[in-house]
Amino acid sequence: MKLRVELIPAFLLIYTAFAFARTGNQVIRQECLIVAELESGKVVFKNDAGLCGSRIYAASTFKIPLALMAFDTGVITDSETMLKWDGTNQPIKSHERDHNAKTWLRDSVVWFSKRLTPQIGQSKIAAYLNDFQYGNKDFSGGLERAWLNSTLKISPLEQIDFLRRLKRRELKVEPKTIDSVLAILPVETDRLGFKVVGKTGSDSSWDDESLRNGPQFRVGWYVGYLEANSRQYVFASALKAASEDRTFVYSGREAKELALSALKSVSLASKVTQDFSRKSWLKDFQQLKQIISNTYPNLDSIVEVEKLDLPGLSRKREQAFFS
């Protein structure tokens, strides 16, 4: 018996119910998670709690196109290209040292980005953003903060489109430039046999002059690629949550946690082989439910509020696997 890749959305139905329940009674929070096949662009999983088509601050996900620009112009020549820390205090202590191109992305070092943009120049950056069709392409916020609670914004759907074109070598840069950037993106691996290459981003609205008197919020991102069982996917995870107390949170970590839970599920669901084993699939399904349960410790209250029939959902999915 063969199991088709199309079962992935069914395999993730329970996760989707939980993700919506997480925000179902909280209008002050929006989330989006999209996973698509790299080659075809077919969406295999989508949780849209009001955010997938909305543009939000690019934040540190802009480091991906910025790295393309830096390599393409020669501002960065290889992964070991080093910039010296100027000794100023930084919000994160690990940023208070010299960094190379690889650790710049790994540690998400803001000062490193701010040193690159003037070397590339406003007009070239604007041209690159136009060529890349990156979000709203608006870099008018300035060389040191356009991507940080300012003018450059992008939606999760646009992230998916950009990342697909990047990995498929469809952007107007040399293939070696793309290879160099992909080689320095942070990597996550797991014993389940998947590899995630991605970039987080965190931001907040209270330094945005255009929103000074409006509702305040925080933004989190995690975008990149999943390799699982010889299949390749592209994903974008984003959240936007009210933050009237203006307490900064590294929301990218939260977006990453949400994404990794779902990506593990995609990895499990993509184990499609010629020799299908009912026993092993049931084991994987139980593992998936455990992942979800661990991710949502307040599951009982969510089920009660949303009136979810989890046993019924579970039975329906098991029947779908073997029909």
Catalytic site residues? Answer: 60
Q: Residue 309, by phi and psi: left (phi above 0), alpha (psi -120 to 50) or beta?
A: beta
Q: Count of alpha carbons within 13 Å of 139, Cβ hemisphere only?
A: 21
Give the tokens for residue 101.
């191109």
* Residue 49 φ/ψ, nearest 5 degrees: -95, 55
CA-to-CA distance for 235 and 157, rounded, in angstroms? 9
* Residue 172 φ/ψ, nearest 5 degrees: -85, 55
Cα end-to-end distance, the chain, whole Å = 11
CA-to-CA distance for 74 and 66, rounded, in angstroms? 12
CA-to-CA distance for 278 and 275, rounded, in angstroms? 10
Q: Are 231 and 272 in contact (CB under 8 A)?
A: no
DSSP state of 50: B
CA-to-CA distance for 125 and 175, rounded, in angstroms? 19
Output the CA torsion sign for 162, 168, 174, 177.
positive
Q: How crowded is residue 313: how many other Cβ atoms within 10 Å of its Cβ?
A: 16
Element (H, E) at 154: strand 153-154
Q: Please report how the helices 122-132 and 63-73 are oriented relative to each other, as an axis angle in degrees rounded to 10.
A: 120
Q: Are 67 and 78 in contact (CB under 8 A)?
A: no
